Structure 1
Amino acid sequence: MKNSANISAYVLCGGKSTRMQSEKGLVLYKGKPFIRWIVEAIMPITSNIILVTSNGDYTFMGLPMIEDTYADKGPVGGIFTALNHTDTEQNLILSCDVPKITTSLLAKLTTESKQKDALITFLSDDKNDYPLIGVYKKKALKTFSDAISAEKLKLCPLVNSISHHKIIINTEEKSLVQNINSKAELHALNLLDL
C-alpha cells in the first residue's frame, strides 16, 4: 500500500476516561498500549500522524502532539482542533480506544472518502455510527467552529446534519471498531483473544 502525503491522521487522546479510570490510549492490550496498535494501523496509509492531547505521557510515541484549542468540548472540540491545525484536505480522525482497528479497514475508508463529495465519510454497522473512525475534509472546519460557538457538542447529530457518507461494515469487521471504554470491556476483549 502506498503511504499518502495528502492525508493527515489525528488521534484524539483527550477525554475524561471516567469509565476506564485511566488514560485510555495508554491502556495495555496484548502488552501494547492502545495508541501503539492504532498508530501501527495508520502508518501504511500516512506517516503524517498527530496526537491531539495535552498529556505528556504520550511523548514515548515520538509523534507531534497538539493540545485542544478549546478545553472540555469533547470529540467535537478535538475534531475542530485537528481541522484547524491540518494543511491537508483529507483528515483521518480516530479515537484512542479502538485497538483492534486494521490498516485494511482504514484503507477502505480513506479510498472511498476520496471518491465522495461528502464533508465526512465514516464507518457504520447500519445500527451504530462510528464518526470517530472517519475522514473529515478541511472544509468541515466552519461547521465545527459554529457547533462549538453554539455549544452543540453531540457528535452524531452534528455529523448527520451535514453532507456525509457512511461506509457500512460487515459483521466480521464490527469487532474491529469496538470502543473499549471500561475495564469490563477490556477484560472481555482480552478473554476473547485468549
Structure 2
Amino acid sequence: MPTPEQTHWVILAGGQASRMGGNDKGLVTLAGQAMIEHVIGILKPQTNNITINANRNQETYQQYAPVFGDHIQNYPGPLGGMHAALHHIDSEWIGFVPCDCPQLPYDLVDRMSRACDETTDIAVAHDGDHIQPVVTLVNRRILPKLEQFLADGDRKIILLYRQCNMITVDFSDQPNAFVNLNTPEELEKFGQAL
C-alpha cells in the first residue's frame, strides 16, 4: 500500500464552472480567500506534493502550486484532469480533489493511502450516503483504460471506475467534508454559515 509520502495530489480546477456564472470556481472568494486557498490549507499539512490542474488563469494559480492544463480539448471534465495528471506526474499513486470542496477531511491523504493495497486501482471517498467520485486516489496503471474510455467518447467518471478494481474509503464520520459549492447562491449561503 502507498504511504502518504508516496502519493501526489492534484486539485482539479480545470472546468468551465458554468453553474458559477462562468467564474473560475477555484478563484471565487469564500470568507476572504480564494476557494482554492481553503483546499490547499487543508491539503498542505497532509502532503508536500500538490499540483493544480487548470485550463484558465494559470498564472494566478501558479502562486499556489505548480500548474498543468488538460491535454484533451473542450473541457472533458474531471477525467481530462486525471488524464493530464497521469501524463504529467511520475508518481505511482495520484490523488485528486475538486477545487470547490473547502472543508475536505484533515486526514484525507492518510486514510485514502491506508485503504489501498497492491490490487487497488482506484480508492474513492464515501461520505456514508454517496461516493464522492472526484475525491479519489488512483494507481497510474489505470491510464490505458482511461485513454480508451476517453477515446470512446465516454465522460461519466463512475463508468470508468466500474472497469477498474475500485474500493471505497469510509468518511461517514465526516459527512460534511465533501460539501461542494457550484453556484453563487451556494457560495453565499455557505460563507454566511462560517
TM-score (norm 2): 0.89
Q: CA deviation at 1:179?
A: 1.3
Does residue 146 (structure 1) correspond to residue 145 (structure 2)? The answer is no
Does residue 16 (structure 1) correspond to residue 52 (structure 2)? The answer is no
Q: Using a 3 Å threshold, how does the CA distance of structure 1 residues 116 and 97 change in structure 2: closer, same or farther?
A: farther
Would you say the 8 A contact 2:46–2:107 is kept in 1? no
| Equivalent position to 1:67, from 58, 65, 69 | 69
CA RMSD across the alignment: 1.8
Would you say the 8 A contact 1:86–1:138 is kept in 2? no
Q: CA deviation at 1:82?
A: 0.8
Q: Which amino acid aligns with 1:73?
A: P
- C-alpha offsets along residues 12-60 of structure 1, whole Å, 9 cap, x if unaligned? 1111101112110011222111111111222223212111113222122
Structure-2 residue corresponding to 1:178? 179
Residue ranges of structure 1 left out of the alignment (5+ in a row) = none
Structure-1 residue corresponding to 2:83? 80
Q: Using a 3 Å threshold, how does the CA distance of structure 1 residues 78 and 50 change in structure 2: closer, same or farther?
A: same
Q: Which amino acid aligns with 2:113?
A: T
Q: CA deviation at 1:173?
A: 1.2
Q: CA deviation at 1:108?
A: 1.4
Structure-2 residue corresponding to 1:166? 168
Alignment length (residue pairs): 188
Would you say the 8 A contact 1:53–1:68 is kept in 2? yes
Structure-1 residue corresponding to 2:137? 135
Q: Using a 3 Å threshold, how does the CA distance of structure 1 residues 85 and 95 change in structure 2: closer, same or farther?
A: same
For residues 158 and 58 of structure 1, the distance between their equivalents in structure 2, rounded to whole angstroms, comes to 29
Q: Which amino acid aligns with 2:35?
A: F
Would you say the 8 A contact 2:128–2:175 is kept in 1? no
Q: Which amino acid aligns with 1:163?
A: N
Structure-1 residue corresponding to 2:107? 104
Would you say the 8 A contact 1:19–1:182 is kept in 2? yes
Would you say the 8 A contact 1:116–1:165 is kept in 2? no
Would you say the 8 A contact 1:12–1:51 is kept in 2? yes
What is the correspondence of 1:14-53 to structure 2 with a 5 Å cutoff? 14-21=14-21, 22-53=23-54
State the percentage of identical aligned residues. Answer: 22
Would you say the 8 A contact 1:68–1:81 is kept in 2? yes
- C-alpha offsets along residues 127-154 of structure 1, whole Å, 9 cap, x if unaligned? 3221211101111111111111101111
SS in structure 1 at match of 2:48: coil
Q: Using a 3 Å threshold, how does the CA distance of structure 1 residues 147 and 28 change in structure 2: closer, same or farther?
A: same
TM-score (norm 1): 0.89
